[in-house]
Amino acid sequence: VIADIVFDVPVWRAFAYVIPRGMELHRGQRVAAPLRGRARIGMVVDLRYGDETGLQAIARPVDAVPVLSRAALELGRWVAEESLSSWGSTLLALSPPVARRGAPVIAPPAEIGPIAGPPPELWVGTLREARLAEQLRAIDGSALVVASDREGAGRWAERLDAARLDSGVSDASRRDAWFAAARGRARIAVGTRSALLVPLPPPATLVLLDEHDPAHKPPGAPRLHSREVLSRRAALEGSRLLMLSATPSVESWWRAQSAQALRRHERTEGWPDIVTADTRGILRNHPLTLPLTRAIEDATRRGRRAALIVGRRAATLVCSECGSFVRCKECGVPLPFSRGRNSLACRLCTRAEQLPERCPTCGGRRLSPFGWDAERVEAAVRKRFPKLGVSRSDADAQIAIGPPSILKPSGPAALGCVGIVALDSLLGMPDFRGGERGFELLWAAMEAVRAEGRVVVQTLHPDHYAVEAARTRDLASFYEHEIKLRSELGYPPFRRLAVLSVRSRTEGEAHALIADCARAFDGIPGLTVYPAAPRDAASTTRLRWRLMLKGPAELPRLLAPAISPLLERGRRAGNVVEIEMDPVS
Ligand SMILES: [Zn+2]
Ligand SMILES: [Zn+2]
């Protein structure tokens, strides 16, 4: 009998091996087998009869039983196809830790037949997490809760008294939890991305927390957003899928709205006031405007905590007279700026423009990169409030200063005041998601503040639609506006993006390789191929290049025939060719 095995290598196909006499294997079981002279761990994806001549033999089973169901193997294949990446890397990244020798044998996961499931539900509103906890306690069936990071997984495991599948606990207990979930001994399991394929007895409820979080698609396998993997899984096995977010991605909002699967769990108490502090025309030598200083005073006088959110310094140019960003005329996204260069090149279409002397909108002469770093903000706050506890590391300080993530641990309605020092560092990101990220921060700030408190937004764009939607507490109006823009400019969910990048040892090779890549996509219908550009615009060497591709929903299937010889060729010559579907940042 022949076993087809996939490995954690950038190769798409499976490798055939002979199963030694007396060894019993199943699909979904891990084995050790020789590959190019090395013993490697692989996953058995198929067993079949065939010609065994010339095939190598499997060395030993790594697990005594399968760790993945056949349905999970198929789901993994779909993930690999959708992300134009390796089936083996995908499956092995989504398997439990390997057992140490002598670990007890545990029964394999049950198989589930395909059933049609309900459309994925999208839960918004401040009470979404409280409702989720109630529902999960009330149902009888199994459940998987996927958090965006270990800290979140830990909080939810405690809250639900659930088994943990993430790397916040030891390998042995993760492995136990995997099989306990598969056999229904642990009714609720909590994990991160690595738990996406854990087998569950039906009927199962799948939950994705903080659906909008880019942490659901970090670099590395599996190279697809957790939202897509769970949506596909739910559809294949008929499970119910709940996705929670204060401010979902535009893609999910659009889909849920079309499927009438949007559920609102609104807060019952009031909302804080939103105050905008217009920083246009103000010399930016101090990060605290008067409204923000007052809000901090009021909050701390009442014994409430304040948080000041400082984003990364904007890598874009903004006019301090009218607040406009310098944008690409073609793509509508702000142009990235780096010091010491005299041109601006669009990240998408690579169009380069001379560094303008005057604002293209109002003719103003004060164009500069905008933003405050946390250190400078801290110094200014200490000077202004010498008697208060100020910290950049302790989220429980009287005044905490940091990135948007410092709002997370507090939970809803815990703070007296949130100040957004420079919203424009998000709105002006050189990416089509700038509006989404800015709105996400505004709404998170509103949820974090008590009804009698205040959110102060310092911005050059007090009339931006994201600010307006937050001020009027109208979630839907933000998405309406954003969806219209996305459809006009051809961004997700209406078109799909992919980034192809190459890396070579010499500039000549790199350039030739990226040119060949671009040629390989010539003539594919429905595809937009943007010109290639050096990956790091600031670097003087040209060893890395990238190009952006845009196409319809079936983009991976359009690219697949052209891309696999390129990946193969890149490997042979010691070069690297990579493709990233649906980039998130
Ligand atoms: Zn201007
Ligand atoms: Zn452009």
Residue 289 has pLDDT above 70, yes or no: yes
Q: Which ligand is nearest to the CA of 334?
A: 2
CA–CA separation, 572 and 504 (whole Å): 12
Residue pLDDT, tens place only, 9-62: 988 789 999 999 999 999 999 999 999 889 999 999 999 999 999 999 999 999
According to the model, what pLDDT value does residue 307 have? 96
Which helix (H) or strand (E) segment holds residue 93: the answer is helix 87-93
Q: Using 50, 70 and 90 to split pLDDT, how confident is the model at 117?
A: confident
Ligand 1 center–CA 253 separation, angstroms: 33
Across the chain, mean pLDDT equals: 89
Pairing outcome for strands 306-309 and 352-354: unpaired
Residue pLDDT, tens place only, 534-566: 876 555 667 888 899 999 999 999 999 998 888
According to the model, what pLDDT value does residue 536 have? 65
Residue pLDDT, tens place only, 134-192: 999 999 899 999 999 999 999 999 999 999 999 999 999 999 999 999 989 999 999 99
Residues in the chain: 585
Residue pLDDT, tens place only, 455-492: 999 998 899 999 999 999 999 999 999 999 999 999 99
According to the model, what pLDDT value does residue 77 have? 96
According to the model, what pLDDT value does residue 538 have? 54
Residue pLDDT, tens place only, 58-93: 999 998 889 999 999 999 999 999 999 999 999 999
Residue 330 has pLDDT above 90, yes or no: no
How many helices (H) and strands (E) in the chain?
Answer: 15, 27
Q: Which ligand is nearest to the CA of 324?
A: 1
Q: Where are the alpha helices (DSSP H) in 452-584?
A: 465-471, 475-489, 507-520, 555-572
Ligand 1 center–CA 362 separation, angstroms: 4
By CB atoms closer than 10 A (0-12, 13-18, 19+), residue 77 is middle
Residue pLDDT, tens place only, 375-419: 888 989 999 999 999 999 888 899 999 999 899 877 888 999 999
Please give the C-alpha separations between residue 563 and each of 72, 176, 556, 559, in angstroms, as whole numbers.
25, 40, 10, 6
| Position with higher pLDDT, 390 vs 344 | 390
CA–CA separation, 350 and 461 (whole Å): 27
**Helix, strand, or coil here: 235?**
helix
Q: Using 50, 70 and 90 to split pLDDT, how confident is the model at 125?
A: very high
Ligand 1 center–CA 282 separation, angstroms: 13
User: How many other CB atoms are there within 10 angstroms of residue 172's CB atom?
Assistant: 12
Query: Residue 47, Cα to own-chain centre: how many angstroms?
Result: 35
Residue 283 has pLDDT above 60, yes or no: no
Ligand 1 center–CA 367 separation, angstroms: 8
Ligand 2 center–CA 379 separation, angstroms: 38
For the segment 114-123, the average pLDDT, to the nearest whole number, is 83
Ligand 1 center–CA 281 separation, angstroms: 10
Q: Which ligand is nearest to the CA of 365?
A: 1
For the segment 100-112, the average pLDDT, to the nearest whole number, is 61
Residue 263 has pLDDT above 80, yes or no: yes
Q: Which ligand is nearest to the CA of 358?
A: 1
Which has the minimum average pLDDT: 13-17, 131-135, 340-344, 507-511?
340-344
C-beta separation of 71 from 143 below 8 A: no
According to the model, what pLDDT value does residue 519 have? 93
| Tokens describing residue 219 | 């670099």
- Name the one residue in this structure whose structure tokens are 């009442």: 302
| Position with higher pLDDT, 537 vs 568 | 568
For the segment 269-288, the average pLDDT, to the nearest whole number, is 81
Please give the C-alpha separations between residue 229 and each of 123, 216, 217, 292, in angstroms, as whole numbers.
18, 10, 11, 42
Asked whether the bond before 287 is cis by omega within 30 degrees of 0, the reply is no
Please give the C-alpha separations between residue 75 and each of 69, 115, 262, in angstroms, as whole numbers.
10, 15, 26
According to the model, what pLDDT value does residue 287 have? 85
Ligand 1 center–CA 278 separation, angstroms: 14
| Position with higher pLDDT, 88 vs 368 | 88
Which helix (H) or strand (E) segment holds residue 150: the answer is helix 150-160
According to the model, what pLDDT value does residue 537 have? 56
Residue pLDDT, tens place only, 208-231: 999 999 999 998 899 999 999 999
Ligand 1 center–CA 319 separation, angstroms: 5
- Name the one residue in this structure whose structure tokens are 């087809």: 4
Q: Which ligand is nearest to the CA of 353?
A: 2
Q: Which ligand is nearest to the CA of 368?
A: 1
| Position with higher pLDDT, 528 vs 283 | 528
Rounded (5°) CA angle 78-82-83: 120
Q: Which ligand is nearest to the CA of 331?
A: 2
Longest dimension (CA), the chain: 82
Nearest to 388 by CA among 396, 397, 379, 380: 397
Nearest to 413 by CA among 467, 456, 453: 453
Q: Using 50, 70 and 90 to split pLDDT, how confident is the model at 110?
A: low
Ligand 1 center–CA 323 separation, angstroms: 6
Q: Using 50, 70 and 90 to split pLDDT, how confident is the model at 277?
A: very high
